[in-house]
Amino acid sequence: MLKSVLRTNNNLIKLFPKHNSNMAVGKSLTSILYELEKFAPTSLAEDWDNVGLLIEPYNKTCIKNILLTNDLTESVMEEAVSKNTDLIISYHPPVFASLKRITQSNWKERIVARCLKESIAVYSPHTSWDSVSGGVNDWLASALPGNNIKPIKPNPCQPDYGAGRIFDTNVTLEQAISCVRNHIGTDVHLSLGLEHNKATTIKKVAVCAGSGASLLKGVEADLYVTGEMSHHELLDANHKKTSVILCNHSNSERGFLQVFKEQFNKILNNECEIFVSQKDKDPLITVK
Ligand SMILES: [Zn+2]
């Protein structure tokens, strides 16, 4: 009995040699791109954005390992290589402004060069994930109890999708702070609207993942939740009796990666190994 088990184990070891120890069978890049497009059509992205497949390796056909990150920094790049990554899904596009050369003189160009050398594809969904129902803004909005949730700026073709979210709630400002902190798992910064205090009842909330000032400007709500706003934008909101909770830019987005990982695993029938980056982090930390 023991011998037969050992023989079976040896056969298994031969079938799955150590450098390929995960059980992912892999899928073609084309089929994964098809599923990503189905999940959130790139046509939902803002006109100014740069979404979709940004780096396509010369000879990559089978994708086994997928790394999810909010930002593709050089430390995330190292992690991707160490995990034998075939595809990086970077929420923010790592290539945005036009590149006129690919040299070793700046970090963005080095990342492109490294991806091409290691045959790693890069895809960025950015504002298509913000817009889609069940995407990044819905994840951020789900921090608070609420109903009657709508996009702040509906997509003209699909009004259920769009930029930001606005909804009704009924919590004190103190409860709202606690909800947001629990949801994103980090410190938050509060800017108080005129005549507000932590016992103030919040009835209407507007959220925008990332940098929300331009979208939230003029939106009537008791509370904004976003990643970052400038000093003057905060003063302006406060004078309109709106309190603001800031989480730091990428902290208002990153938590969605875990939600996406679980959904995409099901969509791909677990045929790929999906990792959420452990090196990806907001560049700001709070010092006490
Ligand atoms: Zn962002």
* Residue-wise pLDDT tens digits, 43-77: 999 999 999 999 999 987 799 999 999 999 999 99
pLDDT number for residue 4: 42
- Which sign, positive or negative, has the C-alpha torsion 194, 198, 204, 210? positive
- Candidates 188, 176, 166; CA nearest to 252 is 188
Q: Which two tokens stand for residue 160?
A: 């259920």
Provide CB contacts within 8 A for 130, sequence distance 6+.
136, 137, 163, 164, 209, 210
Residue pair 130/96 in contact (Cβ under 8 Å)? The answer is no
Cα of 6 vs centre of ligand 1, distance in Å, is: 51
95 C-alpha vs ligand 1 centroid, how far in Å?
14
pLDDT at 23: 72
CATH topology agreement for domains 2-128+255-276 and 132-246: yes
Ranges of the chain whose pLDDT falls below 50: 1-20
Assigned CATH for 2-128+255-276 = 3.40.1390.30
Check residue 3 and give its pLDDT. 39
β partners of residue 191: 244
According to DSSP, the residues that pair with 153 across neighbouring strands are: 163
Angle ∠(73,45,209) on CA atoms, nearest 5: 60
The pLDDT of residue 99: 93
Ligand 1 centre distance from Cα of residue 10 (Å): 48
Q: Which CATH superfamily is domain 132-246 in?
A: NIF3 (NGG1p interacting factor 3)-like (3.40.1390.30)
DSSP assignment of 14-53: HHS-GGG-S----EEHHHHHHHHHHHS-GGGS-TT---EE
Q: Tokens for 277?
A: 């980056």
Total-model pTM: 0.90
What separation in Å is there between the alpha carbon of 107 and the centre of ligand 1?
19
Show me where the domains of the chain are located: 2-128+255-276, 132-246
